[in-house]
Structure 1
Amino acid sequence: MSSNTISISVKNLSKKYQIYEKPIDRLKQSFSFGQKKYYREFSALNKVDFEVQQGQTFGIVGQNGSGKSTLLQILASTLTATEGEVHINGRVAALLELGSGFNPEYTGRENVFLNGSILGVSEEEMKMRFAEIEKFADIGDFIDQPVKTYSSGMYVRLAFAVAINVDADILIVDEALAVGDMFFQVKCYKKFEEFKRQGKTILLVTHDLSSVIKYCDNVLILNNGESLGVHNAKEGVDLFKKLVVNLHKPKITKEQIKKEDSLQKWKKFYQINPEHLNYGNSKASIVDFGLFDELGELTSTIEKDKDCQIKIRVQFNEMLDFPIFAFTIKDLKGTEITGTNTMIENITIDAIEEGIILEASFSQKMSLRAGDYLLSLGCTGFQDEEFVVYHRLYDIISFQVISSKNTVGYFDLNSKIEVSTIQ
């Protein structure tokens, strides 16, 4: 195949489902002979078009429910489209969901040969490849145990090992690597790079935007079953960042915007953590907050090494002396990674009268490694030399840091490396 060969061509692809309110409605529909509808139609995909060239790593990105998995199932021929055309040039190996294609009663060894036969590989060929599959999966004696006894990580190890050892021209991976440990993921991404050098095509569905930037040539953005086009990796991630924020933005007219309480407009863009901790003596209240990117736009995704701002608006419900504004960033395990406050930064705020609203803006460069984090906010102070909490919102929202470069630990020291010969 030449470098301009089209591996995957999708034209006007749609998938619609019939949703019935009650089981009896299915029976009614079968006897209606099309004269009456007892169902409502749900469109999982609507007129999606794209092409993937041979040798590309192609990302598919979208929120949950955007149609990503439906699209991949159609490409893998495990689901039939309602309308449109799909043309696949080459053998496809797909990792669509945990244990896809495995019989839970069979051992890992038996499932290797079962998967091989499904993918069109003879038993003799699979015997020759088995040692490499066993080595890559690295699950030890569990290879001869029923896969129903496997952990999720072991499932993925074996499934991925099979998928990369059947001479597939196209590898489809749907979030499967998210359950693997870090070292296994590194091994898988090295295999991706090897596949790229061999001119094979990879379709990667992931919520990890750092992987999109690092590995993908182009990316398709899906939103509620609609295509928002194919973009290069950087442009696609930028579009998706705006999409994530706008999903939480209410649809309102310009006239309504003028009437809306402008002091509570930022937080409406975010999904609030239902498990967040909210407490304080109510002498001051955090009425609004937001995370802003280097362009000054609200976001829930920040690029590493880019400037950003955390803004807090606090309403004072009585006169208070020398309030302190603060933020803290935690990882998803609850470990406090970093944070600061106006007292640490030697910012003194004089006495504030009742009814006043203050806005504190923390500006910094984002140096955290790629990952997901939780943001906590607070307004505190001292009364009669005792520390008091006016209002705290712990773990109120999450945000993601994305980067094409990974580091050890939490921070990137941005080391400058020089290597020279001394002898």
Structure 2
Amino acid sequence: MSSSSSSLIVALVSKSYHIYKKPVDRLKQLLLSPLYEVCLKRRVKQYFTEFHALSDVSFKAARGETIGIIGANGAGKSTLLQIISGTLSPTSGTVEVNGRVAALLELGSSFDPEFTGIENVYLYGAILGLDRREMTKRLDKICKYADIGEYFHQPVKMYSSGMVMRLAFAVIVHVDADILIIDEALTVGDAFFVQKCMRFLRDFRKNGTVLFVSHDAAAVVSLCSHVIWLQDGRIKMQGSPKLVSEAYLEMQVMKSQNISEEQMNRQPSLGDRTSESQKQQEQARDMRLDFINRSNLRNDIELFQFQPDSLSFGQRMASIVNVSMTDEAGCVLRWVVGGEKVKLCIGCEAHEILKNPIVGFYVKDRLGQYLFGDNTFLTYEDKALEIAAGESFYARFSFRMPLLPVGEYSISPAIAVGTQDEHLTQHWLHDALVFKSHASSVVNSLVGIPMTSIEIIVQ
């Protein structure tokens, strides 16, 4: 990417802080060290330790690009955003910004708590280089967008965190920014306003540049075109949202469950577990399917072979050895029609004694967005289940296949022990079963649900 086409260029940016054990050490460093260096003509003892919040971070962002930034607390995300927004200076490196930057960093950090909402609107506008006349033109729209009623005339110190977020976001929406910086701000506030903000961001990213920090992997995958993973102040990985988010998830699970790096890419042996037949249960049927399935809108879904060599991680007290989709009689399917009954079978093998195993799965689209999934925990919560070492077992999930828009999808299965909230992952297999929707009546949503009835009733 050339400099001329980039709205933001971050080049080898580093930020260091001096950490002093005692307040007097700061004074010693300020007065004694320069004096000793002049007199003795050599470096003397430093009275601080150096903490590197960022080290040689570089990337570019173009118009129309949304960059996601992920990482654990303390990874350097907020420091990087403050440097880009101009509220913090780097120790070394450069940041080139082409256009106006509007930042939503620490919630309400640009607001004076003693000022009213209106006064803070003018204050924030002035920070961004907009005079009072320009902000007055935008005031009514900002007030309407924030939708906080009479609180607009009250001091910000009286606001809830959700109201502060509403006001802050309403301001950055109306300041004609070229680059938006959003740092975890959408974690507060009600669902309706958050969805309103997400709709704005999706529209803004068509021509502007967005830097988006969030612990919500689904939001990052959905919104971003490129993701940067920061770890200990350095870029650990960057690339497609799906790949980087999956790698970050693996690392988080490994860290929380003390899984070694060697276990991350160990692969299970391929097994061949066929499901047993089960009595057919009568279920309601979408009355439109007969018509749709006779047209070119029939949701034809092609299933590919189980991928045992997909990226995986876990402690490996058990392994996933097969994933297949079958009909109700247990026959493995290579094609499925959306809206029809299917069974997802996840074959497993215990390497050690498993007490109360949990088997589950996620279905993801090509971007890595989770569409739906389930697990066995609630079904067996009150039923003691123990699998002996060396024993094979499988989990079976029966459902009607949703109607899927044209595109590629995958199933990521997992096995764990523990509870739904506190568990140890034994084997998580990314994209174990890939499938492709070739035709569909679904256009504008992530999935379509077969309807049991659609009516218009005139009273």
TM-score range, shorter chain: 0.5 to 0.7
Post-superposition CA distance 1:118-177 (Å, at most 9, x none): 111111111111111001100000000000000000000000000111111001000001
1:325 corresponds to 2:356 = yes
Counterpart contact for 2:85–2:101, Cα < 8 Å: yes
Partner of 1:406: none
Amino acid at match of 1:339: L
Post-superposition CA distance 1:78-113 (Å, at most 9, x none): 111111111001000000011111000010011111
Counterpart contact for 1:294–1:308, Cα < 8 Å: no
Partner of 1:134: 143
Partner of 1:341: 380
| Candidates 122, 130, 147, aligned match of 1:121 | 130
2:83 and 2:221 mapped to 1: Cα distance? 25
Partner of 1:204: 212
Give the number of aligned pairs: 325
Partner of 2:293: none
Counterpart contact for 1:376–1:394, Cα < 8 Å: no
Structure 1 residue 246, shift from structure 2 partner: 3.9
Post-superposition CA distance 1:265-301 (Å, at most 9, x none): xxxxxxxxxxxxxxxxxxxxxxxxxxx99754239xx
2:347 and 2:142 mapped to 1: Cα distance? 48
Amino acid at match of 1:13: V
Counterpart contact for 1:56–1:200, Cα < 8 Å: yes
**Secondary structure of 1:133's aligned partner:** helix
Counterpart contact for 2:103–2:180, Cα < 8 Å: yes
Superposed counterparts of 1:370-385, under 5 Å: none
Superposed counterparts of 1:365-404, under 5 Å: 395-397=421-423
Describe the shift of the 1:309–1:40 C-alpha distance in structure 2 as closer, same or farther (beyond 3 A). Answer: farther
Structure 1 residue ranges (4+ consecutive) displaced by more than 4 angstroms after TM superposition: 248-254, 292-296, 305-316, 326-329, 356-367, 375-378, 397-400
Partner of 2:33: 33
Partner of 2:245: 237
**Secondary structure of 2:52's aligned partner:** strand
1:415 corresponds to 2:449 = yes
Partner of 1:225: 233
2:120 and 2:87 mapped to 1: Cα distance? 18
Structure 1 residue 338, shift from structure 2 partner: 5.7
Counterpart contact for 1:376–1:395, Cα < 8 Å: no
Amino acid at match of 1:37: Q
| Candidates 85, 88, 92, aligned match of 2:97 | 88
**Secondary structure of 2:32's aligned partner:** coil
Structure 2 unmatched runs, 5+: 35-43, 264-307, 316-324, 326-343, 361-374, 400-414, 431-445, 455-459
1:80 and 1:366 mapped to 2: Cα distance? 57
Identity of aligned residues (%): 40
1:253 and 1:176 mapped to 2: Cα distance? 33
1:172 corresponds to 2:181 = yes
Partner of 2:80: 71
Post-superposition CA distance 1:339-381 (Å, at most 9, x none): 222997xx987xx9xxx768786646799xxxxxxx9966xxx
Partner of 2:159: 150
**Secondary structure of 2:422's aligned partner:** strand
Structure 1 residue 26, shift from structure 2 partner: 0.8
1:80 and 1:348 mapped to 2: Cα distance? 58
Partner of 1:15: 15
Counterpart contact for 1:342–1:348, Cα < 8 Å: no
1:59 corresponds to 2:68 = yes
Counterpart contact for 1:326–1:340, Cα < 8 Å: no
1:45 corresponds to 2:54 = yes
Describe the shift of the 1:220–1:24 C-alpha distance in structure 2 as closer, same or farther (beyond 3 A). Answer: same
Structure 1 unmatched runs, 5+: 258-291, 300-304, 317-323, 330-335, 368-374, 379-392, 403-411
Describe the shift of the 1:253–1:112 C-alpha distance in structure 2 as closer, same or farther (beyond 3 A). Answer: closer
1:253 and 1:219 mapped to 2: Cα distance? 22
Counterpart contact for 2:416–2:424, Cα < 8 Å: no
Structure 1 residue 229, shift from structure 2 partner: 3.8
CA RMSD in angstroms comes to 4.2
Partner of 1:270: none
Post-superposition CA distance 1:52-102 (Å, at most 9, x none): 011211111111111100000000111111111110010000000111110
Structure 1 residue 243, shift from structure 2 partner: 2.5
1:219 and 1:307 mapped to 2: Cα distance? 33
1:163 and 1:85 mapped to 2: Cα distance? 25
Structure 1 residue 394, shift from structure 2 partner: 7.6
**Secondary structure of 1:222's aligned partner:** strand
Counterpart contact for 2:61–2:67, Cα < 8 Å: yes
Partner of 2:314: 298
**Secondary structure of 2:378's aligned partner:** strand
Counterpart contact for 1:105–1:148, Cα < 8 Å: yes
Describe the shift of the 1:252–1:209 C-alpha distance in structure 2 as closer, same or farther (beyond 3 A). Answer: closer
Structure 1 residue 186, shift from structure 2 partner: 0.5
1:213 corresponds to 2:221 = yes
Counterpart contact for 2:107–2:185, Cα < 8 Å: yes
Amino acid at match of 2:94: E
1:207 and 1:93 mapped to 2: Cα distance? 21
1:181 and 1:82 mapped to 2: Cα distance? 38
Superposed counterparts of 1:236-255, under 5 Å: 236-248=244-256
**Secondary structure of 1:339's aligned partner:** coil
